[in-house]
Amino acid sequence: MKKLTYILAAFLGLGMNITSAQTPKGSVLIKNATVLTVTKGSYENTDVLVQDGIIKQVGKNLSAPSGVQTIDATGKYVMPGIIDAHSHVALDVVNEGSAPITSEVRMKDMVNPYEIGIYRALAGGVTVSHAMHGSANVIGGQNATLKHRWGSTDPADIIMQDAPRTIKFALGENPTRVHGRGNGIQPRTRMGVEAVIRNGFNEAIQYKKAWESYNSSKTQKGSTATPPAYSERLQTLADILDGKIIIHCHSYRADEIYMLINVARDFGIKKLVFQHTNEGFKVAPEIAEYTMGASVFADWWAYKFEVYYSTAFNAAILQRNGAITSINSDSAELIRHLYHEAAKTQRYGGLTDDEALAMITINPAKQLGIDDKVGSIEVGKQADLVIFDHHPLSVYTVPQMTFVDGVKYFDIKEDQDDQRQFVSATEMVEPVYLFSKVNEHKCMQDMDSFFEAFEGAFLEEKH
């Protein structure tokens, strides 16, 4: 009997631990909305029932189980939570740009749940963002996929723990500017960028072999095998080769995109997504055949030399060529109205409603490897939902409520002037930046000292 009590106590204790580590899950019934499922069509006067964070039923005349709140959405639109495949919101550090390869750094270490950008994203209907390392180096850090559970103080609560690992790569001007011209190390050119990647993967293969042979021989009697040096940098690259990590690569030009496709094919890498991809329309069939697609801006280019050649039809061309295509923000400002950005693909390219909405829902979900969990309104999926007052692709639309796992984190009716979670005790007015100083995207945040070095190198050349 006593023993049983112990077991029970242990079991209950364990149960409590599990619940305390869990993130909040909600139940709600949304009534009479136009439901835009994105993957399974659109339905008028339809209800969505959410229980414990999961979509349980989509249909007409559903009734709420006892204790479940009902929201009347008559005349309103419900769509899946918007997913931003390229963001730097809620990160204390964006770039560890000091070496050409820094695959060992983890953006999960730097997640800051207090950043007001999370709430602003929720106000724009965004429930999941891909908090990426910057583009200062060829192989940057491992990214974090976030769920915008605003209000938590624990970074672990806003990290989507069941999302697969992803990593940032970068081609072209940023890494060559920082390393080659800034600090006099490889890569100085696009050829150097390719060499850095190939050398990195080849070293990772050696690294993996060295550990395999050490691990197999150390248990043998009288073994003289000694442990190889530990390198999380090379281990991470080996994990990419083993298909455990999805590459998200900052890229602009068609030639460099095609280069990376060839490198990936040589090393048997299949999990590859291109970011920005402004010249993607030139290599759309190749992107469609060999990769997990491209994540692009709707109509943003010409902010530096390598981005002069682009078109607002880029997303539509990629999409119609069969490439998985998403539209991202890479900005604390654009993330607030990605639905407008998606709508631009209808003006430039005439995409259908479902194709346009897929650009900010199921397609980015596929590129992040979370399309089995989020990205559409389907029974069994996590209940990340947004209610709009007009069709989300209408220029007049305004998000009304945003849910993550069935929990409402944004309601326009309850929106306060001051939504900050953390207020400094010693600052009268805290600095707020929607745009960074140079009005450039945040990909190059934390790189000031490297540009100083870059400028220094330039001045020296004049002597």
Partner 1 sequence: MKKNFLKAGFLGLLVSVVFAQSSLAQSDPSGKRRVTGTYAITNATLFSSPGQQGSKGTILIKDGVILGVGSGVQIPKEARVIAGDSLYVYPGFIDGAGNMGVTRPKDPERPKDMVSSNPPDEIAGITPWRSVTDQYSASASMVNDWRKAGFTISQVFPEGGMIPGKGAIMVLGDADGNNLIQLNSALSANFRGSRGMYPATAVGVMAKFREVYQNSSLALEHEKLFASTSGVKRPQITPTQSGMAAVIQKQIPVIFTTSNDLEVRRAISLQKELGFKLVLTGLENYEPVIDLIKSSNTPVLIKLEIPDDKAIKGQKEEGVTEATKAQYARVKEAYDKSLKQASLLEKAGIPFAFTTVDAKAGDAHKALKSMIENGLSEKAALAALTTNAASILGISRMAGTIEKGKMANFVLLTDTLFTENAQVKHVIADGYVFDFEVKKKAATNGKTENSGAIKVEGVWEYTSETPAGASGGELVIKKEGTGYSGTITYDDPAGTGKASSPIKNVTLSGSNMSFEFDVNAGGMSLTVTVTGEITGNTMDGSMSIAQFGSFPLSAKLASPSRNN
Q: Which residues contact partner 1 (rule: CB under 8 A)?
A: 92-93, 95-100, 102, 104-107, 109-110, 112, 141, 153-155, 179, 183, 185, 222-224, 226-227, 229-233, 417-418, 420, 423-429, 446, 449-450, 452-453
d(C-alpha 60, C-alpha 34), whole Å? 11
Residues in contact with 307: Cβ distance below 8 Å, sequence separation at least 6, in sequence order:
252, 276, 278, 301
**Which residue from 248, 246, 247, 253 is spatially nearest to 281, judged by alpha carbons?**
253
* DSSP code per residue over 266-313: HTT---EEEEE-TTGGGGHHHHHHHSS-EEE-SS---SSGGGSS--TT
Q: Among residues 56 and 108, whose Cβ is nearest to partner 1?
A: 108
Q: Among residues 22 and 57, whose Cβ is nearest to partner 1?
A: 22
* DSSP code per residue over 412-429: GGG--S---S---SS-SS
Provide, rounded to whole angstroms, the least separation between the CB of residue 423 and partner 1. Answer: 4
d(C-alpha 24, C-alpha 19), whole Å? 9
Provide, rounded to whole angstroms, the least separation between the CB of residue 252 and partner 1. Answer: 24
Instruction: State both tokens at 184.
Output: 């006099």
Provide, rounded to whole angstroms, the least separation between the CB of residue 439 and partner 1. Answer: 23
Provide, rounded to whole angstroms, the least separation between the CB of residue 135 and partner 1. Answer: 15
SS3 443: helix
**Which residue from 84, 94, 81, 141 is spatially nearest to 433, judged by alpha carbons?**
94
* The Cα angle at residue 121 between residues 116 and 124, in degrees rounded to 5: 135
Q: Among residues 106 and 347, whose Cβ is nearest to partner 1?
A: 106
Provide, rounded to whole angstroms, the least separation between the CB of residue 230 and partner 1. Answer: 4
Provide, rounded to whole angstroms, the least separation between the CB of residue 384 and partner 1. Answer: 25
Q: Which residues pair with 358 in a beta bridge?
A: none
Q: Among residues 202 and 449, whose Cβ is nearest to partner 1?
A: 449
d(C-alpha 55, C-alpha 381), whole Å? 6
What are the two backbone dihedrals, phi and then psi, of residue 145, each rounded to the nearest 5 degrees? -95, 125
Provide, rounded to whole angstroms, the least separation between the CB of residue 426 and partner 1. Answer: 5
